[in-house]
Homo-oligomer: A and B are copies of this chain.
């Protein structure tokens, strides 16, 4: 097996990369600038050494605690709970949220043998008191497991007098009503927002 075949095989294991895309990328790298290939190789090799989990929120970071947890300009009274570190990046990209985060590391899923004790819930409870948290936004995915996990957390947080909320469900911006599924339409109707001519 040549290095070209071996690299193609390795690339085709990446998510979203099939056999044909892998071949295309391998030939692209053959003709690419050596400095680019060197940089890509170095960053792939270094990635796992440089990135760790923040000991406070569980997000991926190069420094512990992470930049969000140590940012003095962020609202420390609000925590947004997400399933995965990727979700933090997506929420940050919206530039709408200025509070802190907490990464659960998964969702409650009996079928996969994941219970509340497998998620970083005890560190969340620890933070509530320590940081004087007033509101927890439950930003788990709108799936059966995400909803179950949110419900579990709501019950636990209510007992501790913390306000909870969940991300709104409805039509995606730029979406088409014609192609929206029945459940999304139902939720968008139930959560409809009043309009005023002033806005």
Residues of B within 8 A of A43 (CB): 3, 6-7, 10
Find the B residue at minimum CB distance from A61.
Answer: B2
Indicate whether A41 reaches chain B with its CB closer than 8 angstroms.
yes
Indicate whether A13 reaches chain B with its CB closer than 8 angstroms.
yes
Within 8 A of B (CB), among A60-90: 60-62, 85-86, 89
Return the contact of A86 from the options B17, B27, B48 (Cβ within 8 A): B27
Asked if residues B30 and A10 are in contact (CB atoms below 8 Å), the reply is no
Indicate whether A156 reaches chain B with its CB closer than 8 angstroms.
no
Asked if residues A29 and B10 are in contact (CB atoms below 8 Å), the reply is no
Q: A25-B15, A60-B4 are in contact. Are A37 and B45 (CB under 8 A)?
A: yes
Within 8 A of B (CB), among A20-47: 21, 23-30, 34, 36-47
CB distance from A94 to the nearest CB of B (A): 15
Indicate whether A98 reaches chain B with its CB closer than 8 angstroms.
no
- Identical copies in the complex: 2
Residue in A4, A24, A60 whose Cβ sees the most chain B Cβ within 10 Å: A4
Asked if residues A38 and B47 are in contact (CB atoms below 8 Å), the reply is no
Indicate whether A11 reaches chain B with its CB closer than 8 angstroms.
yes
Indicate whether A111 reaches chain B with its CB closer than 8 angstroms.
no
Interface on A for B, CB 8 Å cutoff?
Answer: 2-4, 6-7, 10-11, 13-17, 21, 23-30, 34, 36-48, 50-51, 60-62, 85-86, 89
Q: What are the nearest 7 A-B pairs in CB distance?
A: A41-B45, A41-B41, A41-B44, A7-B43, A3-B50, A10-B40, A15-B28
Q: Can you list 29 A-B pairs, Cβ within 8 angstroms, ordered by A?
A: A2-B51, A3-B46, A3-B50, A3-B51, A3-B62, A4-B47, A7-B40, A7-B44, A10-B39, A10-B40, A10-B43, A11-B40, A13-B36, A14-B28, A14-B29, A15-B24, A15-B25, A16-B24, A23-B86, A29-B44, A30-B47, A30-B48, A30-B51, A30-B60, A37-B48, A40-B41, A40-B44, A41-B42, A41-B45
